[in-house]
Amino acid sequence: MLDVGTDAPTFELENQHGETVSLDSFAGQPVVVYFYPRANTEGCTVEACEFRDARPQLEDHDAVVLGISDDPVSDLAEFADDYDLDFHLLSDEDGSVSAAYDSYGEKNMFGNTFDGVFRNTYVLDGDGTIVAAYEGVDPEGHADEVLAEL
């Protein structure tokens, strides 16, 4: 995990609409950058829907949510449509941004080894400094945990 108090790596990625989203475009606002393994899977859906449902409270803090996975844009578009997700879901297909945030690497599942995204979250202040870091997040209740930090 990246350390609290350090500057968050900047990035530009495509969202579920095929639009380029830059972290720098949210300067002056708190940003929640959450990494999740796979769109339309149980835990990732719970986590995404909790952030969707917390939108009014997040807006009270002027906070932006950015969800990042290594899914292609088309999968993110379907995921957003299926669950009315009204925040940016960003496609990091090569895992480079996730890796820059120590949220990508070797995983083991059902006896198979592969590279993938780890379920981690960072909260950034308006200057892009990491003010909170959550490793190996439990999707249930995580949005409330982040709100408490804000």
- pLDDT tens-place string over residues 65-87: 999 999 999 999 999 999 999 99
Q: For the segment 86-143, what is each residue's pLDDT rounded down to a tens digit?
A: 999 999 999 999 999 999 988 887 888 878 899 999 999 999 999 999 999 999 999 9
Are 15 and 48 in contact, with CB atoms under 8 Å apart?
Answer: no
pLDDT in tens, 36-51: 999 999 999 999 999 9
Question: What's the gap between Cα 47 and its chain centre?
Answer: 10
Give me the active site residues, please.
44
* pLDDT value at residue 55: 95
Q: What is the pLDDT of residue 125?
A: 97
Reported as a single tens digit per residue, the pLDDT across 14-26 is 999 999 999 999 9
pLDDT of residue 112: 83
What tokens appear for 107 in the block?
């995983």
144 pLDDT above the threshold of 80:
yes
What pLDDT shows up at residue 114? 79
